[in-house]
Chain A
Amino acid sequence: MKKSIIHIDQLFKKYKDADDFSINNLNLIIEEKEIFGLLGPNGAGKTTLLSVLCGLIKPTSGKFSINDLSYQNNATEIKKLMGVVPQEYALYPTLTARENLLYFGSMYGLKGKELKSKLELSLEHLGLLKFADKKVETFSGGMKRRVNLIAGILHNPLILFLDEPTVGVDVQSKNVIIDYLKELNSKGTTIIYTSHHLVEAQDFCTQIAIIDRGKIFAQGTPKQLIAQTENASNLEDVFISLTGKELRDVI
């Protein structure tokens, strides 16, 4: 039986001046070594949930633990276990890919030969080794996404949080990124992933939760979710069936 690695209990988050809760009494258990997809329309609460779990923002109320450690009391320990790949290219544009990665790797305690060898290996794996000493500002969107990913995984995190890691990249870059993430998962990394690419999610994720208005509407493997939904042949049908067709413009 798999061990639960993330345990969320009655979590609420309401932003100042907001009318509604972004996370509304959310309960969730994520098991280790899963590729867990958080899917939902704009404003559903996906990024807010990831931000709370990463320690970027504090919840209004509720508790959560990661690897059996309560976040409230073990923030630093938990941060060592996790890697974060934000939606933005969270890199210094005037530094080279190598300089960026040396810096972010060192923040997780990596240094010397270990850091350099991990860096070279990751760069090679994602096809960036020959561009390692070029400034990031000269990179294409796909290249920046790949460097962004490496910055989050250099320290071999136990849990990896990915906020739309393939948005705005070409098919080739997307495939390289997804393959690399699958390889990481096969080595034991639990991946928590948000995306609007439902086809990609259906193929990539081992577990999916459909979230809307801060609550989880359904959870299971992609196959289970499709089977549970009437007239659904893919994840998109499930998604529409649960969240509706109305536009979700948010400010």
Chain B
Amino acid sequence: MSVYKETLLLKRDFGGLVILFVMPLILIITITLIQDGTYKSMSDVKIPILLVDNDNDTISKTVRKNLNESGSFEVLSQLKGKNITEEIAQDAVFKGKYQLAIIIPEKLSSDLQLKVNQNVDRIVSSFGLTDSTSTNVKNQTIEPKEIKLYFDPATQLSFKNGVKNAIDKMISQIETRSIYTTFQEQLGEGDEPVFEQESFISFKEIVPTINNKEILPNSVQHNVPAWTLFAIFFIVVPLSINIVKEKSQGTLVRLITNPVPYAVVIAGKTATYLVICMIQFYLMVAVGVFLFPHIGLPALDVNGKLFLMSIVAIFAGLAAVGFGILLGTLAKTQEQSAPFGATSVVILAAMGGVWIPVFAMPKVMQFIAHISPMNWGLNAFYDVLLRNGGILEILTEISLLLLFFIITVTIAIAYDKKKRAV
């Protein structure tokens, strides 16, 4: 009967129901669309960047070619029909009109070649293969060169680091090639390449497989579980309001003075709100599976995983319901429970790694993340979806979620009893 009453109360609050079911769907579609580019190898969106080429030689041509071929950038050397100078580029970037400007210094290619020649000459002469014509080159002083990078101050650190690493790698490759070529020239080996200039060491990412098919992470596999958890935990807000209302309306008096134990009333709320959590979960999964392919996103792959995912959702739902019951019991007014509930869920999400991966957090936050129920839920979902895990792999996380539910509900009931003893 408690479940029936709670269901009726929810049904009568149409606005609340819309918020409970529609807002998480809008959230998951929006966030996945926004973050999709991060996971794609070839982005649909090209970031315009400014290139000031004072070198006009092989290095600047290689940099431009590589940037264009990366598919991520649109390289601009002119603005409004005029060549860009360093001053113009700096001004435009610092005002936030562009994310990045690359300034390639004068004579970069020729000076690099000169420096490589000097070094190669020294090595070759140490083997007694001195070329008398190169003495002048050996004695010339060549100042180190620097490629300047200007970033919009609002640019994210991860983007800056990514660009810096890519350019650094590009320059290293150019230097290596130059060294090999110079050696070949000094040794008089003709135009046919003697040295293999391709990298000897390369990386190969080994990803988990199911039926010999690689499980490749994409924005959908990451976002659907993360934002589903976020939505599930938002049940805290309506549930805590429901409990606070019972106090302010006086219905709690009836619930306490009737012979049914208060734990049964709590069980009724738990069952009802857990069903809501599961409906939310299946709606989110349905959106991932059926809607995403129609809006240009990869489909959520739940083949053979839906049962385990449902188990994770049940335990995550229990943890969320426990938190909602505790908050509703502690709060005296809706003004306390609603904002606190909403902000605490956002904090739990941040701590749990919904936005920033836990490994990228400072040490203290990493420790805190590991005691966040949203992190346990997220890890369990990733175990199932991305790590091909089974029930044993998620056992720890779902046990922790259950423990969280038991502890929060026990505290809520104990606090309620203690409060009535004052």
Q: Say yes or no for B206: interface residue by CB 8 A criterion.
A: no
Q: Say yes or no for B13: interface residue by CB 8 A criterion.
A: yes
The interface bits of chain B over 389-422 (1 if a CB of A lies within 8 angstroms of the residue's CB, else 0) are 0000000000000000000000000000000111
* Among listed A65-73, A79-87, A206-214, interface-contacting one: A79-87
Q: Say yes or no for A218: interface residue by CB 8 A criterion.
A: no
Report whether B9 and A90 are in contact in the complex, using a CB–CB cutoff of 8 Å: no
Do most interface residues of chain A lie in helix, strand or loop, or is the interface mixed? loop
* Residues of A near any B CB (own CB < 8 A): 15-16, 54-58, 76-77, 79-80, 82, 84, 86-95, 99, 102-104, 106-109, 135, 151-152
Report whether A108 and B420 are in contact in the complex, using a CB–CB cutoff of 8 Å: no
B2, B253, B254, B422 interface centre (most CB from chain A within 10 Å): B254
Report whether A151 and B254 are in contact in the complex, using a CB–CB cutoff of 8 Å: yes
Report whether B13 and A55 are in contact in the complex, using a CB–CB cutoff of 8 Å: no
With A92-B9, A95-B8 as contacts: A109 and B253 at CB distance below 8 Å? no
**In this complex, what residue of A is CB-closest to B265?**
A107
Which of A94, A107, A135 lies in contact with B13, CB distance below 8 A? A94
Report whether B256 and A104 are in contact in the complex, using a CB–CB cutoff of 8 Å: no
With A86-B250, A93-B249, A104-B254 as contacts: A58 and B420 at CB distance below 8 Å? yes
Which of A57, A86, A95, A108 lies in contact with B9, CB distance below 8 A? A95
Report whether A57 and B422 are in contact in the complex, using a CB–CB cutoff of 8 Å: yes
Tell me the bound Cα distance from A95 to B242 in angstroms. 14
Which of A58, A79, A94 lies in contact with B421, CB distance below 8 A? A58
Report whether A107 and B420 are in contact in the complex, using a CB–CB cutoff of 8 Å: no
Report whether A56 and B420 are in contact in the complex, using a CB–CB cutoff of 8 Å: yes
Report whether B420 and A57 are in contact in the complex, using a CB–CB cutoff of 8 Å: yes
Which of B12, B249, B255 lies in contact with A91, CB distance below 8 A? B249
Q: Which residues of B contact A92 (CB under 8 A)?
A: 5, 9, 249, 251
Q: Which residues of A contact B254 (CB under 8 A)?
A: 84, 86, 90, 104, 107, 151-152
Report the count of interface residues on B (CB-CB < 8 A).
23
Q: Which residues of B contact A109 (CB under 8 A)?
A: 259
Q: Which residues of A contact B5 (CB under 8 A)?
A: 92, 95, 99, 103
Which 9 A-B residue pairs are closest in the complex by CB-CB distance? A88-B250, A90-B250, A94-B12, A107-B258, A79-B259, A106-B1, A58-B421, A84-B257, A16-B422
Tell me the bound Cα distance from A103 to B6 in angstroms. 10
Q: Which residues of A contact B8 (CB under 8 A)?
A: 94-95, 99
Least distance between B320 CB and chain A CB atoms (Å): 23
Least distance between A217 CB and chain B CB atoms (Å): 26
**In this complex, what residue of B is CB-closest to A106?**
B1
Report whether B259 and A54 are in contact in the complex, using a CB–CB cutoff of 8 Å: no
Known pairs A87-B250, A107-B255; list 5 more (Cβ under 8 Å). Answer: A54-B253, A89-B250, A94-B8, A103-B2, A151-B254
Report whether B420 and A90 are in contact in the complex, using a CB–CB cutoff of 8 Å: no
Least distance between B19 CB and chain A CB atoms (Å): 16
Tell me the bound Cα distance from A99 to B8 in angstroms. 9
With A94-B12, A94-B13 as contacts: A84 and B421 at CB distance below 8 Å? no
Report whether B12 and A89 are in contact in the complex, using a CB–CB cutoff of 8 Å: no
Report whether B259 and A91 are in contact in the complex, using a CB–CB cutoff of 8 Å: no
Tell me the bound Cα distance from A157 to B167 in angstroms. 84
Report whether B260 and A107 are in contact in the complex, using a CB–CB cutoff of 8 Å: yes
Which of B2, B249, B260 lies in contact with A90, CB distance below 8 A? B249
Least distance between B271 CB and chain A CB atoms (Å): 15
